[in-house]
């Protein structure tokens, strides 16, 4: 049985002004892995390659022990980027109706439990939400279809410390299920230090430290 939710081997991607240079790493089950590096180091490129949003030029990516291009793996992944991707005219209830049709395993009860926990309004347009409220909603949406893997790209950037701590606590709860993993990209090293079991440091497209 595979003990990793992500396995990356010799991943290579060349752009005009940047090369992701044959990087390899793994994300074990039951662990939070922090992915740190300066802006432009290759963090977002790596995440987009794992999600098959951009095509790799070489190497191998496995998610849940299978090729990352298989559509079925996406059902078990929750993804959060540094900006909320929902239009400002939507309400949380609008979004819930949309996502419940997208994900077979969508759990409306869990969604509403998280909404109550974070005291988010159901019927206000997102345009009236603060950045912290929008990020909480994005994370709720990523978790309400009960994924096995959370991938977070700078999800705590620009949030006040209280909101960041609330979100970090949620990630720690998530991995109490030992089948779950969190892959957490950030340049806020204090957040990584608080919750990560392992740390990967990327610099100019190369992994230079892993512990």
Q: Could you give all domains of the chain from N- to C-terminal order, each with its CATH number? A: 4-210 (3.40.50.300)
Q: For residue range 146-163, list pLDDT tens digits in order.
A: 999 999 998 888 788 888
- Whether the predicted pLDDT of 71 surpasses 70: no
At residue 124, the 3 state secondary structure works out as coil
Task: Give the pair of three-digit tokens for residue 14.
Answer: 């060349």
**Which two tokens mark 24?**
């390899």
How many helices and strands, by DSSP H and E, does the chain display? 6, 10
Angle at 16 between CA 54 and CA 209, to 5 degrees: 70
Tokens representing 182? 């969190």
In the chain, the percentage of residues whose pLDDT exceeds 90 is 78
Specify the pTM: 0.92
What does the mean pLDDT of the chain come to? 93
Is residue 24's pLDDT more than 60?
yes
Cα–Cα dist 45/84, whole Å: 19
Residue 182 has pLDDT above 60, yes or no: yes
Q: Are 96 and 48 in contact (CB under 8 A)?
A: no
pLDDT at residue 184 tops 90: yes
As a whole number, mean pLDDT of residues 47-66 equals 95
Closest by Cα among 141, 142, 131 to 182: 142
- Return the number of other C-beta atoms located less than 10 Å from residue 145's C-beta: 20
């Amino acid at each position: 049985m595979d003990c990793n939710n992500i396995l990356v081997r010799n991943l290579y991607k060349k752009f005009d002004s940047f090369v992701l240079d044959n990087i390899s790493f793994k994300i074990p089950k039951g662990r939070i892995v922090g992915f740190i590096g300066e802006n432009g180091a290759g963090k977002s490129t790596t995440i987009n390659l794992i999600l098959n949003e951009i095509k790799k030029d070489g190497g191998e990516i496995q998610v849940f022990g299978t090729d990352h291009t298989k559509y079925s793996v996406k059902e078990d992944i929750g993804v959060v980027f540094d900006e909320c991707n929902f239009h400002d005219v939507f309400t949380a209830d609008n979004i819930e109706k949309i996502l419940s049709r997208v994900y077979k395993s969508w759990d409306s009860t869990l969604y509403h439990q998280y909404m109550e926990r974070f005291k988010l309004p159901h019927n206000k347009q997102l345009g009236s939400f603060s950045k912290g409220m929008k990020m909480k909603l994005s994370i709720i949406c990523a978790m309400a279809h009960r994924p096995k893997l959370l991938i977070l790209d700078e999800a705590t950037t620009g949030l006040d410390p209280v909101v960041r701590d609330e979100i970090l606590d949620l990630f720690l709860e998530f991995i109490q299920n030992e089948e779950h993993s969190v892959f957490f990209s950030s340049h806020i090293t204090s957040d990584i230090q608080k919750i990560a079991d392992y740390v990967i440091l990327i610099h100019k497209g190369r992994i230079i430290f892993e512990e």
